[in-house]
Structure 1
Amino acid sequence: MGGKSCIANRVQAGLHGKRLHTCLLDDDRLRQGLTADLGFADSDRKENIRRTAEVGRLMVDAGVITLFCLISPFEQERRMARAPFAADDFIEIFIDAPLHVLERRDPKGLYAKARKGLIKNFTGIDSPYERPVTPNIVIDSTTSSTAISYSFNAVYGFITALRGSAGRVWGIGTASL
C-alpha cells in the first residue's frame, strides 16, 4: 500500500474540519460489499473501478466531495473513472511509492504472499502497473509521515485554487504503486 487509505482518511478529516461534506469510497471497504463478487483479474479490476466511479458520480451529483481510494493500475481505467465527471470536477492524485517501499510497509503481508505465488494478479508483482500520465497532484509517499502531513494541504490548496472557495464538489481519485 502506498499510503492511500492513510492519506485519504487525513484528507477527509481535513475537509470535515472545513465543514465540507465528504464520502470516502475506499477499495478495502467496497470489496466487502459493493464489489465483493469481483476478483483481481484485469476484467474484475475494470468493473471495480467502473462501479466505484458510478457511485462516486451519484455522490458528486448530490453535492458531496467524493474521495476514491483505489488501486488503479491502468491508464485506460483511470480515464474511464474520470469520464463521468466534468474536467474540473475530478482530481487525480498519484500516491507515488517505489515497489521496495511498498513491500517494506506491507501491513497485511500481501506482497510476501504474492511473491510466494499465493496471490495471483497482484499489482506490481505479476500484474503490471502503468504510472499515471497526467495526475493533478503527485504525492511522494516514500516517507509516509511527510506524505500524510503534506497531502491535505496539497489537495485542499488545489481545490481552493481551482475554484476559489469550498462550495463546489469533486471526485478525487488516487492511484498508487
Structure 2
Amino acid sequence: MQILTNFKFMFSFFILCIVINKILNIVMFFISKKDVSIRQYYRLFSKNDLKVLDSEVVLEHLCSVLEEWGYKNPTISENLEEIICYKNNIATVVYYLQYKEGVIGAESIYSIVGKTRAKKINHCVVVTTGQFDSKCNNEIKSIKKSGMDLKIIDGNELTKLIRENIEKQILTEGVV
C-alpha cells in the first residue's frame, strides 16, 4: 500500500512539473517578443539628449522637475514654448527656448519679460537647451530690481535637473 501511495504522489508531482514547464514556456514566448520586456531600460540623461529629443519629451521632463519644486498644474501651451504653473496660488510662466547650438542674448530675455508682463504675471523662469551670454546676468539683475522674479536655467543645469528627477523616479519605482 505504501508503494502505491508513493507512486501516486510521484506521478502527481511529475504531472505538476510538466504543467509548470508548459506555463513557463508560454510566458517566455511572450517575453521574448521584441516589444515586450519585463525590465525597463534606464540610462543617464545627457546634454546630447536635449539636442535629439522632441520638445514634448523635454517639456514633460521639465514639468516633472517643476512639480518636484512644488509647482502645481503645469500646463504646456500649444506652441510648446511656455508652461503656466502655480506655486502658493501665484502664477509662474516658464518659457522653453530650444537652441541646438545657440546662445541666448539679452534681447530675447527682454522679449520674454515683455510677454510675461503682458499676461500680468511677475514670476518667470527662462529655460534653454543652449547657453545665456555673459550680458544676461547684468540684465537679469536690472529686471529683478524692477519687481520681476526672473530665474534662468541653461542647458547644463537643465540636463542636471532632468537627470536628478529621472534618478528619483527610478528609486521610487524600486528599480535599481
Same fold at TM > 0.5: no
Larger radius of gyration: 2
Q: Determine which structure has the larger strand proportion and give its number.
A: 2
Q: Determine which structure has the larger helix proportion and give its number.
A: 2
User: Relative CO higher for 1 or 2, CA cutoff 8 Å, sep ≥ 6?
Assistant: 1
